[in-house]
């Protein structure tokens, strides 16, 4: 029998349980929503700025902007290292639907370029999809226009405009200026420009020495990008600092004239203004075209430069050093004067000079003069004029190597001239301490004798020799060599005098006779007329002449292989009465200085006297 009361009681209990569970669930849901609401309110109200910034960082990126490189000017105020517009073909991978087809079409538009499709694809795929990649550099204006007019056929390929380094004087200024090329791996840590694609840095010359100043400071921009990383719009830009321009003391007219005289030869020419210390020419040959490095030099061209026996990559005016030969004799003579030897004292030259040497079986070592039969009786003036070796053997024994070395260093030998170039060499001025420290051996008297004629361990650069002579003929005033105009040096200081005026006059008279009197070693290269040059020739031996060769007759330079021939040198100044310029000429393996170097110096002085004596030569610009 159905119990209605009992059924109603059970239903009420069930309803109560459901209501209780519903209430608990509702309370739980309400709690969850309350927590979610409070968390949302917290994020929106209290952490709004933090998360907005984080969101911005996800859609905003920063890119570096490369500034324009500083210009290098010559003394006339004309650019000798500049930046010019260059035209390229670039590609963005994310915009290309079929990369092979795009590149094939590009080859049809620019058939003269004919890019290697497989290599180009490999290059492109190394970069990010949204980053432009240059695939053809240095388009002509005609090619650039053709590219623009055919863009409808080249989806993803587009024309781009950039800048490249340009050297209008090409090879004549190459060693001096240097060149720029891709940043090397060892530069990555210290060069902020390594973060850029295709960034370059200076490698040699002024471009390397002043790379930090010339390259300027990087700029940056903040850009908004889409989900694929493609730029949508620029939000902020901080301009970089354009590289600092510099002006050199180099006169490009003189530099080019000197370089032309060196064509077909291996050597260097240095020209300095004896009153200011400004170097107006530093020519070195053979050379190279620095523009090839700006474009990206080919492997074959690079290998050709490396394998060339004449070393076209080396700046021979500062990086190659040679035995100075007889060009050092005026400084040895000065050491003798300062040691009390009278310029009128004479010595007899029979063609040889003997000293005791117990290490030899005969007990005697013989030192020869370049003139086999000797010069007979010679004093200081005649010894410099005819370049008598025996005279300098005599005075060197009395003066000693330490005094000779001291005078040479005083006039600039054995140290850097410019303190600017990474590749500059100091050369060697030997003395007793140098040999003991460097070679661990005792100095020998015979080494003093051969040092007195610029052989033995002596090594000098072209720029050092021109500096030494400039200080001899400018009244003995110490020169601070200049290659870069410095506008910040306002104080005029009293110059340091390097030697007594009376001694310098004796040297200059002898040097004048060496060029302008019959019998002088450079007499055949003298300049006729009102303005004359003066100077000293030198012949640097690169091999030892044996006694057998002396007995049979010394082999002439022209009959020897090129690398066995003597170096020819001339160091001089002009005009001889009122010196304005000092010049050093070194011709590698050119034979004697009188035949190889002095004639070249004569042509340079004639050019200077005709073109550069009575005109304003410098146009100082504000850089």
Given a cut of 60, whether residue 4 has pLDDT beyond it is: no
Range among 26-35, 113-122, 427-436, 613-622 with highest mean pLDDT value: 427-436
Give pLDDT, residue 54: 46
Percent of the chain at pLDDT exceeding 70: 83
Given a cut of 70, whether residue 225 has pLDDT beyond it is: no
Q: Which residues 6+ apart lie within 8 Å of 444 measured at CB?
A: none
Given a cut of 80, whether residue 162 has pLDDT beyond it is: no
C-alpha angle 453/458/461, rounded to 5°?
A: 105
3-state secondary structure of 29: helix
Least confident range from 79-88, 169-178, 220-229, 409-418: namely 220-229
Q: Which phi-psi region, left, alpha or beta, contains residue 499 (left: φ > 0; alpha: ψ -120 to 50)? A: beta
Q: Smallest Cα–Cα separation from 462: which of 575, 590, 582? A: 582
Given a cut of 70, whether residue 525 has pLDDT beyond it is: yes
The pLDDT tens digits for 438-472 are: 999 999 999 999 999 999 899 999 999 999 999 99
3-state secondary structure of 64: strand
Does residue 558 or residue 614 have the better pLDDT? 558
Give pLDDT, residue 563: 82
| Cα distance between residue 532 and residue 606, in whole Å | 9
163 pLDDT band (50/70/90 cuts)?
confident
The pLDDT tens digits for 118-157 are: 888 887 777 767 667 778 878 888 888 888 888 777 777 8
Least confident range from 172-176, 419-423, 601-605: namely 419-423
Q: Could you identify the residue written with the tokens 């608990």?
A: 24
* pTM of the model as a whole: 0.83
Average pLDDT over residues 71-96: 88
Strands 180-182 vs 200-202: parallel, antiparallel or unpaired: antiparallel
For 28, phi and psi rounded to 5 degrees?
A: -65, -45
Give pLDDT, residue 286: 97
The pLDDT tens digits for 314-343 are: 999 999 999 999 999 999 999 999 999 999
Q: Which two tokens stand for residue 545?
A: 């002449």
| Cα distance between residue 510 and residue 521, in whole Å | 11
Give pLDDT, residue 406: 98
Instruction: List the end-to-end C-alpha distance of the chain, in Å, as a whole number.
Output: 119
C-alpha angle 197/203/206, rounded to 5°?
A: 120
Range among 160-174, 233-247, 260-274, 359-373 with highest mean pLDDT value: 260-274
Domains and their CATH numbers in the chain = 63-247 (3.90.1310.10), 252-285+318-437+447-485+499-611 (3.40.710.10)
Give the torsion sign (CA, 465, 467, 473, 475).
negative
| Cα distance between residue 120 and residue 510, in whole Å | 68
Given a contact cutoff of 8 angstroms between Cβ atoms, the answer to whether 164 and 83 are in contact is yes
Element holding 369 (H helix, E strand): none
C-alpha angle 144/149/153, rounded to 5°?
A: 110
DSSP state, 314?
Answer: S
Given a cut of 80, whether residue 14 has pLDDT beyond it is: no
Q: Smallest Cα–Cα separation from 51: which of 63, 39, 62? A: 39
Q: Which two tokens stand for residue 194?
A: 């390594």
Give pLDDT, residue 57: 47
| Cα distance between residue 585 and residue 599, in whole Å | 10
Average pLDDT across the chain, whole number: 86
Q: Which two tokens stand for residue 404?
A: 């000779």
The pLDDT tens digits for 409-439 are: 999 999 999 989 999 999 999 999 999 999 9
Given a contact cutoff of 8 angstroms between Cβ atoms, the answer to whether 218 and 193 are in contact is yes
Q: Smallest Cα–Cα separation from 536: which of 493, 500, 569? A: 569
| Cα distance between residue 602 and residue 522, in whole Å | 10
The pLDDT tens digits for 299-310 are: 899 999 999 999
C-alpha angle 333/335/339, rounded to 5°?
A: 115
Element holding 524 (H helix, E strand): none
Given a cut of 50, whether residue 583 has pLDDT beyond it is: yes
Does residue 236 or residue 261 have the better pLDDT? 261
Does residue 263 or residue 10 have the better pLDDT? 263
Element holding 9 (H helix, E strand): helix 4-41
């Amino acid at each position: 029998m159905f119990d209605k009361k009992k059924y109603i009681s059970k239903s009420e209990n069930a309803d109560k349980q459901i209501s209780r569970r519903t209430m608990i669930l509702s309370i739980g849901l309400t709690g969850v929503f309350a927590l979610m609401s409070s968390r949302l309110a917290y994020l929106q109200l209290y952490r709004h700025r933090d998360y907005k910034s984080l969101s911005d960082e996800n859609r905003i990126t920063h890119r570096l902007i490369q500034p324009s490189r500083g210009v290098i000017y010559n003394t006339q105020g004309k650019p000798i290292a500049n930046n010019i517009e260059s035209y390229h073909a670039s590609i963005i991978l994310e915009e290309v639907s079929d990369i092979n087809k795009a590149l094939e079409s590009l080859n049809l538009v620019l058939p003269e370029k004919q890019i290697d499709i497989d290599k180009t694809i490999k290059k492109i795929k190394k970069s990010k999809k949204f980053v432009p990649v240059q695939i053809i550099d240095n388009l002509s204006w005609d090619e650039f226009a053709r590219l623009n007019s055919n863009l409808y056929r080249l989806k993803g390929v587009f024309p781009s405009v950039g800048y490249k380094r340009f050297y209008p004087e090409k090879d004549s200024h190459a060693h001096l200026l240097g060149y720029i090329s891709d940043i090397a791996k060892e530069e990555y840590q210290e060069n902020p420009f390594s973060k850029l694609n295709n960034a370059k840095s200076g490698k040699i010359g002024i471009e390397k020495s002043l790379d930090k100043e010339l390259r300027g400071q990087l700029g940056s921009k903040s850009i908004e990008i889409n989900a694929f990383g493609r730029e949508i719009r620029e939000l902020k830009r901080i301009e970089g600092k354009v590289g600092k321009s510099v002006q050199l003391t180099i006169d490009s007219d003189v530099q080019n004239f000197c370089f032309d005289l060196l064509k077909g030869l291996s050597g260097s020419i240095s020209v300095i203004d004896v009153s200011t210390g400004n170097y107006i020419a530093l020519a070195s040959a053979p050379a190279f075209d620095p523009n090839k490095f700006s474009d990206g030099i080919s492997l074959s061209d690079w290998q050709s430069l490396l394998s060339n026996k004449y070393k076209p990559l080396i700046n021979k005016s500062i990086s190659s050093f040679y035995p100075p030969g007889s060009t050092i004799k005026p400084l040895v003579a000065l050491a003798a004067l300062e040691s009390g030897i009278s310029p009128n004292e004479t010595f007899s030259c029979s063609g040889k000079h003997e000293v005791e040497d117990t290490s030899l079986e005969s007990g005697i070592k013989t030192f020869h003069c370049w003139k086999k039969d000797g010069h007979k009786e010679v004093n200081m003036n005649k010894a410099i004029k005819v370049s008598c070796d025996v005279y300098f053997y005599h005075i060197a024994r009395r003066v000693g190597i330490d005094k000779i070395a001291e005078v040479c260093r005083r006039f600039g030998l054995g140290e850097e001239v410019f303190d600017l170039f990474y590749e500059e060499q100091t050369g060697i001025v030997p003395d007793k301490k140098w040999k003991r420290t460097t070679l661990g051996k005792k100095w020998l008297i015979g080494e003093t004798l051969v040092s007195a004629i610029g052989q033995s361990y002596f090594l000098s650069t072209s720029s050092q020799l021109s500096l030494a002579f400039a200080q001899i003929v400018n009244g003995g005033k110490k020169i601070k060599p200049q290659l870069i105009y410095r506008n910040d040096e306002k104080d005029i200081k009293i110059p340091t005098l390097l030697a007594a005026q009376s001694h310098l006059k004796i040297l200059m008279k002898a040097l004048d006779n060496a060029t302008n009197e019959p019998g002088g070693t450079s007499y055949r290269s003298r300049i006729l007329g009102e303005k004359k040059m003066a100077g000293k020739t030198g012949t640097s031996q690169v091999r030892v002449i044996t006694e057998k060769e002396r007995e049979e007759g010394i082999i002439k330079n022209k009959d020897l292989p090129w690398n066995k021939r003597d170096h020819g040198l001339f160091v001089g100044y002009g005009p001889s009465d009122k010196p304005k310029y000092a010049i050093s000429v070194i011709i590698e393996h050119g034979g004697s200085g009188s035949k190889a170097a002095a004639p070249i110096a004569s042509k340079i002085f004639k050019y200077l006297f005709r073109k550069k004596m009575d005109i304003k030569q410098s146009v100082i610009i504000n850089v």
